[in-house]
Structure 1
Amino acid sequence: MDDQDPFGEDRPVPAWAEGLPTPVPWQDRGHDVVYETPWMKVTQHDAVAPTGRAARYGVLRFKNLATGVLPVHADGTVTLVGQARFARGNYSWEMPEGGAPFDEDPLQGAMRELAEEAGLKAGAWKRALAIEVSNSITDEIGLTWIAWDLTPVPLDPDPTEVIAVVRVPFTQLLHEIERGAVLDGFTVATAYRAYHMAREGQLPGWLAHAMLTRS
């Protein structure tokens, strides 16, 4: 996964889809931009569905690729950040997350967020997920990593952010996800992916052991 563009035209096809007829795509017959900020825009499209039915379709289009990193310490703990989120008006515990301009190496974006939000620098990185965040109404795509060999650096949060930083056992993060106390989709997906990677030998053995046994 680290060596290819998971969102490119040559992305792999699931094994069960091989040999099936080519799906009929949606058709886009033009669009208007109805709202725009430096970070995203909303477009309204005259579209034709795969069934042939005409439709008006609104899409939220992002101007950055979403990035996230789950920082894992040698003792099996992970660093998480807490912050107030505007859209749902709630407080959210998450791994460090942010965005990278499409012309930037997304790993550099993840490194920047790790430093700014968690005050950490990592010596080792491994790609965890490539994900379409909510592909029915947005075109947002994202990449996440597992990072270790961590050292502290100065915090530098965004001027709009008030961030709390905690360090908890990886198994406790999984427990809080199961309880519904951690709901951020990027974090949930990456935590379960990290658990799979630890179980399947895709992380260093000493790190996997610490993650799975520290409570």
Structure 2
Amino acid sequence: MSQKPAWLTTDGAPWGRGRARLVYDNPWIRVTEHDAVAPTGAAAVYGLVEFKNLALAILPVFDDGTIMLVGQARFPAQDYSWELPEGGGPLGVDPLESARRELREETGLEAAQWLPILEAQLSNSVTDERAIGYLATGLTEVEADPDETELLALARVPFREALDAAMAGHMKDMLTVAMLLRGYHMAREGSLPGALARAMLS
């Protein structure tokens, strides 16, 4: 991992947190409203969505450079979304264990090799949701076990085709976009085995 640039070591004034009020709570999220003090010193009211799971994404790459994508209807945007396999893992559970479960449930795949390639904050102005992404290789087929609310479609496509579709705006899930770009950067910069990188970039 490269050394952190000097400009990244400078922290500004933080937000101050005062009294918090619970607005909404369910098994997945908690919404709270906080009396706050902005870094400028101004008084403010801040709504925060707190997540009870860690977001997980998997970039499953076959030896021939193809990847597996998952298609499903998404409730918030009321659209159909093609994405990498994604899901949530309880905060107290090893993220890799949860990622293995998500890959198996959604795609019917298991991976022999797992490499963490991304840590991200998702929508960090209003939520505390964190994400971890893994590159999964050495893939073999097992029986899929989707959640009872998920009606999933699968597509095995070339990595570059998926990346190009994301860059053209046809895939809008931001964690998928970030993972594809991270995979591309690693393949270009020599951070992946040569044969795999060449297959992904071809």
TM score, norm. by length of structure 1? 0.91
Structure 2: gaps spanning 5 or more residues: none
Instruction: Give 1:13 deviation, angstroms.
Output: 5.8
Q: Distance in 2 between matches of 1:14 and 1:36?
A: 39
Instruction: Find out whether 1:101 has 2:119 as its counterpart.
Output: no
SS in 2 for 1:172: helix
Q: Which residue of 2 aligns with 1:92?
A: 81
Measured at CA, do residues 36 and 14 of structure 1 come closer, stay the same or move farther in structure 2, by a change above 3 Å?
farther
State the shift of 1:128 in Å. Answer: 1.2
Q: CA offsets, 1:75-100, max 9 Å, x none?
A: 11000000000001000000110111
Rounded to whole Å, the distance in 2 between the matches of 1:68 and 1:108 is 12
Q: Partner of 2:173 in structure 1?
A: 184
TM-score where L is the length of structure 2: 0.96
In structure 2, the partner of 1:5 is none
Matches within 5 A, 1:1-215: 14-18=5-9, 20=10, 22-213=11-202
**Alpha-carbon distance in 1 for matches of 2:158, 2:185:** 16
Q: 1:141-199 CA deviation, whole Å, 9 max, x = no partner?
A: 00001111000010100000000011000010011012211110010000000000011
Find runs of 4+ consecutive structure 1 residues off by over 2 angstroms: 12-15
Q: For 2:98 and 2:165, how far apart are their aligned partners in 1?
A: 27
1:70 counterpart SS class: strand
- The 3-state SS of whatever aligns with 2:24 is strand
Secondary structure (helix, strand or coil) at the match of 2:199 reads helix
* Partner amino acid, structure 1, of 2:8: A
Distance 1:15 1:142 in 2: 25
Give CA-to-partner distance per residue, 1:11-60, whole Å, 9 cap, x none.
Answer: x8642134x4x421100011011001100110000000011101010011
Give the partner amino acid of 2:33.
Q
SS where residue 210 of structure 1 aligns?
helix
The alignment partner of 1:88 has SS state of: coil
Name the CA distance, whole Å, in 2 between partners of 1:175 and 1:136: 29
User: Structure 1 regions of 5+ residues with no counterpart?
Assistant: 2-11
SS at match of 1:75: coil
Deviation track 1:93-114 (CA, whole Å, cap 9, x = no partner) reads 0011011111100011111110
Over the residues paired in the alignment, what is the CA RMSD in angstroms?
1.2
Distance in 1, matches of 2:112 and 2:38, equals 47
Distance 1:141 1:211 in 2: 27
